[in-house]
Amino acid sequence: MAEQHAHATEHADHDHKPHGWRRWVYATNHKDIGTMYLVFACLMFFIGGAMAMVIRLELFKPGMQIVDPQLFNSMTTMHALMMIFGAVMPAWTGLANWMVPLQVGAPDMALPRLNNFSFWILPFAFFLLLSSLFVPGGAPAGGWTMYPPLVLQNGASFPMLIFSIHMMGVSSILGAINVVVTIMNLRAPGMSLLRMPLFVWTWLITAYLLIAVMPVLAGAVTMLLTDHFFGTTFFTAAGGGDPVMFQHIFWFFGHPEVYILILPAFGVVSEIIPTFSRKPLFGYEAMVYATASIAFLSFIVWAHHMFTVGMPLAAELFFMLSTMLIAIPTGVKVFNWTTTMYKGSLTFEPPMLFALAFLFLFTIGGFSGLMLAIVPADYQYQDTYFVVAHFHYVLVPGAIFGIMAGVYYWLPKWVGNMYDMTLAKWHFWLSTIFVNVLFFPQHFLGLAGMPRRIPDYAVQFTDWNMVSSIGGFGFGLSQLLFPYLIWKCVKSGQRVTSNKVWEGAHGLEWELPSPAPYHSWQEPPSDAVIARGAFH
Amino acid sequence: MMIRAKNAQLSNKLAAIVSSLGLSLACALPAHAESESGWSLLNMTQGVTDISREIYSLHMEIFWICVIIGVIVFGAMIYSIVTFRKSKGAVADVTLVHNTTVELIWTAVPVAILVFMAVPAAKTLIKIEDVTKTDLSIKVTGFQWGWQYDYLDSGVSFFSHLDRKSNTARELASGIDPNTVDHYLLNVDKPLVVPVGSKVRLLLTGADVIHSWWVPAFGVKKDAIPGFINEAWFKVDTDKPGLYRGQCAELCGRDHGFMPIVVDVRSREDFDAWVKAQAAEQKQAATPGAAPAQVAATASTTG
C-alpha cells in the first residue's frame, strides 16, 4: 500500500497533462472528462431549471400572465429534454468516468479517445437543441415524448430536435460502451464480478440498457424524420401507418430509459448508506440480482405509459401485471437499505442526509407508481398532475438527490478538500423541504382533475398550484448553493488528510490519496487491498 | 377590494401550507363537491357511474395498502435512524449482512399483496372493456381545438368549443380575472347531451392529432386518434342528471388547455325532445337558402 502511495505521489509531479484549453479539448484522462461531464450537467440543470421556473411562474395563478401557450408548451418540452438528456444522464456518465476506474482498480477508462468524443458531442447537441428556441415557430412544443402527428407540426425546430436527439444518443451509446469495456476488461486481478461495488454494478447494468434502447429511440425519431421530409407514412394513418406504433416504439426505449436515470442512484445510495451506518450492505447479492431483475422487467412494461390508447384487454392485463412485478425487486432494495441501517452506528453527514431523503421520497414515488399500474385507476390518473407528481418524486429526490449524494460523498476525494458542512446541510434541508412543497400538492391537483401540460387552469386548482409554485421557486433558489459550495470547496476548502475521508468508507477509491492522483492505479491494487474494500 | 381579498386569501394559504406538510393521510378525506374551496380538493371524485365508483374504491384500496406498507417501512427506517446513532453510542453489528429467511419473506409477502390488488383491478377492467348492449352511439372527434359530436342513431351533429367568456379571459394579459368567469376554462358553447341511465357508447377518433376525451365523473378517459376508432362507454345513475365537466387529456398543441368537455345528462324524455329539436333545426339549416351552419361552425374553430 505504501508503495502505491509513493508511486502515486511521485507521478503527480510529472503527469504531463497539457495546460490551458488543450487539457480539456484534447482530454483523455477519465478524471478530466468526468469533471467536464459534471460541469456540463450542472449547467444544463440550471438552464432546464430556469425553464421550470417559467412554467411554475405561469401556473402561479389562473389566467395567462407571462407566456403564450405555444411558448409554454416549448418550456415543458425543453425542460424535460434538458433535464433528462442534458442534466441527469451526463451527470451519471461523469460520475462513472470519475469513479468506475477508481473503484475497479483500473488506470483509466478503456477507450480514452472515444471518451473524449462522447463528451464533446454533447455541447454541440445541446447548442443545436437550445438554438431551436430562436428559430421561426419556436422550440419543439409537442412534449419530450414527441408523439406524432403533433410533433410533425413543429416548424424549423423539428429537424433540429431530431438531429440533437441523434447526437445525444450517439454520445450515450459510446459512453455506455466505454463503461462496459472498462468494467469487463480493466478490473484489477482479484476484483471478481461479485466483489464489485454496487455503483459499478448498477452502472454496468445501466450501460447495457443504454446500448439496448438508445438505437431504438434513434430509429423512432428517424422514422419521424422520414415521415416529415421524405414522404414515408410510418405513423400516418392516411398512408397505412399507425401513430400509436410510435408510442410503442418510444416507450420501449422510454421505460428502460427511466431506469437508466435511476439505477446508478441505487448504486450511489448502496455505497453511502453502509459507509455512514459503519456496516456492510445488507444482502449484497440480492441487491445485484434485484437490479438485474428491474432491468429485465423494464423491457416488458412499456405500454403502462399508454393505457388509454385503446389496447386489447389481454394486453392491458399483461402490462398491469408485469408493471406490478417491478414492486418486488424494488421493495427488496428498499428493505435491504433499511436493514443496512438496522443495528448500525449512524452519522448524518450531507451524503447520508441526501441518501436518506432519497430512501423516503423515492419510496413515495414507488407507491404512486404502484397505484398508476392499476389500469382502471390509471384511466383517472393518466396525463394528470398525479403522474407529474409521481415521476418528479422518482426523478428529483430520486435521481437528482442520488447525484448530489454522490457528489457530496466523493467530492473530497476528487479535490482533496472538504466542503462547508454547514452550508451543505442548509442545501439539504432547503432542497428536501421545498421539493415536497413543490411536488406533494401535485398529487392532489391530479386527483382533483387537473390535466398535465396545460398553461392555464380552472380556478378551483389555484390554491395548490400556488403552493407548488412557491415550493418550485424555493427549490430552484436553494440549488444555487450547490455550485457555490463546490466552487468554495475547490478554492478554499479545508485539506483532507486521510485517504478514507469518511470513517466507515470501504472500497478501492478510499485506498488512494486525497485528492486522487491524476493517474491512479497504474499498478493494480493487491488482492488484500481489494478484499478489504469489498463487502465480502 | 381585490387586494384585501388577496391578503386574506394569502394568510389562509400560508396556514394551509403549514398544515399540508404532514399531509399524506389527508388524501383519505372524502371526495369533493364542485362548490368547495380549492384546499379541500385532495382526492379523486367518486363520480356518478358504477364504473367510476369502482375505480374510486380500487384507488382507495390501493392507497390504504400503500399507507400501511409506508407506515411499516418508514417506521422501520425512522426507528433505525433514531435508535442506532453513533452519537448515542450505538456500535455497528457488522455480522448482520444476510438472512435468507427474512429475504424470502419480504419477497413473498409483496407477491401476495400484489395478487390481492390485481384481482379486483382485473375484474373492474373486464367490466370497463365490455362495450356490448349499448343504447346509444355517439361519434366523438377531437380536433385542434374542440370536439365534434355525431349522434349516429339520429344524425344530429355539432361542434363544441370553449365558451366565449373563458376564451376572452384566457388571452395573454387579458386583464379579466378568471375568478369572475363562470366555470373558467370548463364551459363550452354547446354541451354533449345524453340520456340518464342509458349505456352510452362513444366512438372516438381524431381529426388532426391525438386528443383524449376525459370526464372524471364518468371514469372515462380514452384517446381520440386520427385514423383509428376507439370505444368507451358510460351509464350515468338514473338519479344523477346534471352537468359534468372534463378536459382534453392528451397534449394536442397550442390550445390543448382550452378544449373542455361538458356533458349535459338529461332525463330520457328531455333528451328525446332535444334530439327532435336538433334534428329539425339541422334540417332547416341544410335546406337551400339557409346558411350552412356547419361550415360556419368549422370556420370558427380556426380561431
Q: Do A238 and B227 make contact, defined as CB atoms within 8 angstroms?
A: yes
Phi-psi region of B288 (alpha: psi -120 to 50; beta: other; left: phi over 0): beta
The answer to whether residue A237 neighbours chain B at the CB level (below 8 Å) is: yes
Q: Do B13 and A467 make contact, defined as CB atoms within 8 angstroms?
A: yes
Residue A370: list chain B partners with CB under 8 A. Answer: 62, 66, 117
pLDDT at B287: 76
How far is residue A333's CA from residue A326's CA, in Å, rounded to a whole number? Answer: 11
ipTM of the predicted assembly exceeds 0.95: no
Q: Do B58 and A69 make contact, defined as CB atoms within 8 angstroms?
A: no
* A149-201 per-position pLDDT tens digit: 999 999 899 999 999 999 999 999 999 999 999 999 999 999 999 999 999 99
Cβ atoms of residues B17 and A466 within 8 Å: no
* B1-24 per-position pLDDT tens digit: 344 444 445 444 444 444 443 344
Nearest-CA distance from B199 to chain A in Å?
A: 18
Cβ atoms of residues B245 and A451 within 8 Å: no
How far is residue A384's CA from residue A390's CA, in Å, rounded to a whole number? Answer: 10
How far is residue A523's CA from residue B177's CA, in Å, rounded to a whole number? Answer: 71
Give CA separation, B152 vs A486, B132, B249, in Å: 66, 16, 24
Judged on CB neighbours under 10 Å (0-12, 13-18, 19+), A483 is middle
Per-residue pLDDT band for B135 (boundaries 50, 70, 90) equals: very high
How far is residue A138's CA from residue A141's CA, in Å, rounded to a whole number? Answer: 8
* A235-289 per-position pLDDT tens digit: 999 999 999 999 999 999 999 999 999 999 999 999 999 999 999 999 999 999 9
Give CA separation, A214 vs A79, B84, B135, in Å: 20, 44, 48
- By CA distance, what is A342's nearest residue in B? B80
How far is residue B50's CA from residue B127's CA, in Å, rounded to a whole number? Answer: 10
CATH topology of domain A2-12+25-533: Cytochrome C Oxidase; Chain A (1.20.210)
Angle (CA) B30 B33 B37, round 5°: 95
pLDDT at A288: 96
pLDDT at A535: 67
Among the partner-chain residues A347, A371, A466, the one whose CB lies closest to the CB of B13 is A466
How far is residue A185's CA from residue A179's CA, in Å, rounded to a whole number? Answer: 10
Angle (CA) A268 A270 A274, round 5°: 120
Residue with cell 409521481: A390
Residue A201 among the catalytic residues: no
The grid cell for B213 is: 376525451
Lowest mean pLDDT segment, chosen from A51-60, A353-362, B167-176, B184-193: B167-176
Q: Do B253 and A150 make contact, defined as CB atoms within 8 angstroms?
A: yes
Q: Is A418 helix (H, G, I), strand (E, B) or coil?
A: strand
Q: Is B244 helix (H, G, I), strand (E, B) or coil?
A: strand
> Does residue B46 surpass a pLDDT of 60?
yes
Q: Is B224 helix (H, G, I), strand (E, B) or coil?
A: strand
The grid cell for A505 is: 468508507
Give CA separation, B17 vs A317, A438, A458, A466, in Å: 39, 11, 20, 10
Give the containing element (helix H, strand E) for B141.
strand B136-143
Mean pLDDT for all residues in chain A: 94
pLDDT at B38: 81
pLDDT at A420: 96
How much is the average pLDDT of B119-144? 95
DSSP states of B154-196: T--EEEE-B-HHHHHHTSTT----GGGSTTTTS-BSS-EEEET
> Does residue B173 surpass a pLDDT of 90?
no
* B77-108 per-position pLDDT tens digit: 999 999 999 999 999 998 988 899 999 999 99
* A80-132 per-position pLDDT tens digit: 999 999 999 999 999 999 999 999 999 999 999 999 999 999 999 999 999 99
* From A37, A259, A337, A502, active-site residue: A259
Nearest-CA distance from A377 to chain B in Å?
A: 5
> Does residue B258 surpass a pLDDT of 50?
yes
Cβ atoms of residues B208 and A238 within 8 Å: no
Question: Given 3-state DSSP classes, what are the helix, strand and coil percentages for chain A, each rounded to the nearest 5?
Answer: 75, 0, 25
DSSP states of B71-139: HHHHHHHHHHHHHSBGGGT----TT-S--HHHHHHHHHHHHHHHHHHHHHHHHHHHHHT---S-SEEEE
Per-residue pLDDT band for A532 (boundaries 50, 70, 90) equals: confident
The answer to whether residue B226 neighbours chain A at the CB level (below 8 Å) is: yes
* A290-307 per-position pLDDT tens digit: 999 999 999 999 999 999
Residue B38: list chain A partners with CB under 8 A. Answer: 459-464
Residue A504: list chain B partners with CB under 8 A. Answer: 92
Domains and CATH numbers, chain B: 50-85+97-128 (1.10.287.90), 136-301 (2.60.40.420)
Mean pLDDT for all residues in chain B: 86
- Residue A421 CB: number of other CB atoms within 10 A? 13
How far is residue A172's CA from residue A164's CA, in Å, rounded to a whole number? Answer: 12
How far is residue A128's CA from residue A116's CA, in Å, rounded to a whole number? Answer: 19
Nearest-CA distance from B189 to chain A in Å?
A: 17
pLDDT at A17: 79
Per-residue pLDDT band for B289 (boundaries 50, 70, 90) equals: low
Verify cis geometry, omega within 30 degrees of 0, for the bond prior to B145.
yes
Dihedrals φ, ψ of B93, to 5°? -95, 90
The answer to whether residue A68 neighbours chain B at the CB level (below 8 Å) is: yes
Mapped to the 3 state alphabet, what secondary structure does A49-60 carry? Answer: HHHHHHHHHHCC
Nearest-CA distance from B300 to chain A in Å?
A: 19
Per-residue pLDDT band for A316 (boundaries 50, 70, 90) equals: very high
Quote the pTM value: 0.91
pLDDT at B22: 39
> Does residue A437 surpass a pLDDT of 90?
yes
Per-residue pLDDT band for B285 (boundaries 50, 70, 90) equals: confident
> Does residue B290 surpass a pLDDT of 70?
no
Residue A108 among the catalytic residues: yes
Angle (CA) B171 B176 B181, round 5°: 100
Per-residue pLDDT band for A18 (boundaries 50, 70, 90) equals: confident
Residue with cell 422518482: A394
Per-residue pLDDT band for A222 (boundaries 50, 70, 90) equals: very high
Helices assigned H by DSSP within A105-242: 112-131, 157-185, 198-229
Among the partner-chain residues A316, A325, A327, the one whose CB lies closest to the CB of B125 is A316
List strands edge to edge, sheet with B157-160.
B157-160, B146-151, B136-143, B200-206, B230-234
Residue with the bigger pLDDT between B258 and A533: it is B258
pLDDT at A28: 94
How much is the average pLDDT of A331-356? 96
How far is residue A108's CA from residue A409's CA, in Å, rounded to a whole number? Answer: 21
